[in-house]
């Protein structure tokens, strides 16, 4: 059975009553409009923990574009049905006043992570992410928290949050779930027109192309081939395509420079911004 709670007080009471009888709690933070990507995190948490908490909160402080926030999908009833079927125990669905009774002023030093790629193109975004995730960690005190590789830079940022505050939990990075043609699942995909949806496949195609070329050419040359493929669509505007050290996100000039190398991409297609990434060496 899925319990649904909207206030911090109810959540704290619920967890206090349950905590002593169980050995672990898994937390899956989301912004809702759930798809198979989100549900894969819930399934993994349900397999690994006695109690799985999913949060749905469209966090205003992480949106640097007000129109993106305004049109973010909020299909609550269908999300509840999906969570019920997937073995989630508790849905925490607060409103903004519940999470931010007063203005948030604290700031985390995230170093390079906040200056490259998503950090650069979405100023302030990761401050909003760390603010809300820290609150969820404090409230739920989970043993494990589940995030998707789809937002790989976010996973590194949360790693920094956990490290800097010495939060006693295990972070789990779950593989990106894709549509049959390779497009990474995303709540924002529903905004794509049929033509845009067709071209959106080029994101993953460019990443898989780079991976297939890694034995034949340098990272810079492989990146150029990826950019060429993305450039073949007049609908796509590239924000970045980078080949980077997977632990630091510093660009690599030679495949042997790092033991784990990842390619990351962000584009705009019409009004919609899409991101994806793929490990080239793992």
Q: Does 125 bind ligand AMP (CB under 6 A)?
A: no
Active-site positions read 38
Minimum CB distance to ligand AMP, residue 57 (Å): 9
Tell me which residues in 64-103 interact with ligand AMP (CB under 6 A).
none
Q: How far is the CB of 256 from ligand AMP (least distance, A)?
A: 29
Nearer to ligand AMP, 86 or 187 (CB): 187
CA torsion sign for 125, 128, 131, 132 is negative
Site string for ligand AMP, 252-281 (x = CB under 6 A): ------------------------------
Q: Which is nearer to ligand AMP, 158 or 280 (CB)?
A: 158
Binding mask 155-194 for ligand AMP (x = CB under 6 A): -------------------x-xx------xxxx-------
Site for ligand AMP in 11-70 (CB under 6 A): 30-31, 37-38, 40-41
The least CB distance from residue 224 to ligand AMP, in Å, is: 27
What DSSP line would sit under 143-199, residue for residue? SEEEEEGGGHHHHHHHHHHHHHTT---EEEEEPPPB-TTSPBP-GGGGG--HHHHHH
Q: Tokens representing 265?
A: 């991409």
We find the least distance from the C-beta atom of residue 177 to ligand AMP, in angstroms, to be 4
Beta carbon nearer to ligand AMP, 79 or 213:
79
d(CA 38, CA 206) in angstroms, rounded, equals 24
In the complex, what is the shortest distance from the CB of residue 5 to ligand AMP, in angstroms, rounded to a whole number?
Answer: 19
- Measured from the Cβ of residue 244, the count of other Cβ atoms closer than 10 Å reads 23
Residue 239: exposure state from Cβ atoms within 10 A (0-12, 13-18, ≥19): middle
What lies within 8 Å, CB to CB, of 205 at 6+ separation is 182, 229
Which position has the token pair 């997937």? 86
Size of the site for ligand AMP (CB under 6 A): 17
The helix (H) or strand (E) run that includes residue 55 is strand 51-56
Question: C-alpha dihedral over 30, 83, 15, 55, to 10 degrees?
Answer: 10
Q: Which residues of this chain interact with ligand AMP, rule CB under 6 A? A: 30-31, 37-38, 40-41, 147-148, 150-151, 174, 176-177, 184-187
């Amino acid at each position: 059975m899925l319990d649904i709670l909207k206030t911090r007080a109810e959540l704290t009471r619920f967890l206090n009553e349950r905590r002593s009888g169980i050995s672990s709690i898994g937390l899956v933070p989301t912004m809702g409009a759930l798809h198979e990507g989100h549900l894969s995190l819930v399934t993994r948490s349900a397999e690994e923990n006695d109690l799985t908490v999913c949060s749905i909160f469209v966090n205003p402080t992480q949106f640097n574009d007000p129109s993106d926030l305004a049109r973010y999908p909020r299909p609550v009833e269908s999300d509840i049905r999906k969570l019920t079927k997937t073995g989630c125990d508790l849905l925490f669905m607060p409103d903004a006043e519940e999470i931010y009774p007063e203005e948030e002023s604290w700031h985390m030093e995230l170093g390079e992570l906040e200056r490259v790629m998503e950090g650069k193109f979405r100023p302030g975004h990761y401050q909003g992410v760390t603010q809300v995730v820290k609150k969820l960690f404090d409230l739920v005190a989970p043993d494990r928290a589940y995030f998707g590789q789809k937002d790989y830079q976010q996973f590194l940022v949360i790693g920094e949050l956990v490290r800097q505050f010495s939060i006693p939990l295990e972070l789990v990075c779950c593989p990106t779930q894709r549509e049959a043609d390779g497009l990474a699942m995303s709540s924002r995909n529903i905004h794509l027109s049929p033509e845009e949806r067709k071209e959106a496949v080029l994101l993953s195609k460019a990443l898989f192309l780079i991976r297939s070329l890694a034995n034949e050419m340098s990272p810079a040359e492989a990146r150029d081939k990826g950019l060429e493929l993305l450039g073949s669509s007049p609908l796509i505007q590239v924000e970045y395509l980078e080949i980077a050290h997977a632990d630091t996100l510093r660009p690599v000039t030679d495949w042997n420079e790092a033991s784990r190398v990842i390619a990351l991409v962000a584009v705009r297609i019409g009004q919609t911004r899409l991101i994806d990434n793929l490990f080239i060496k793992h």
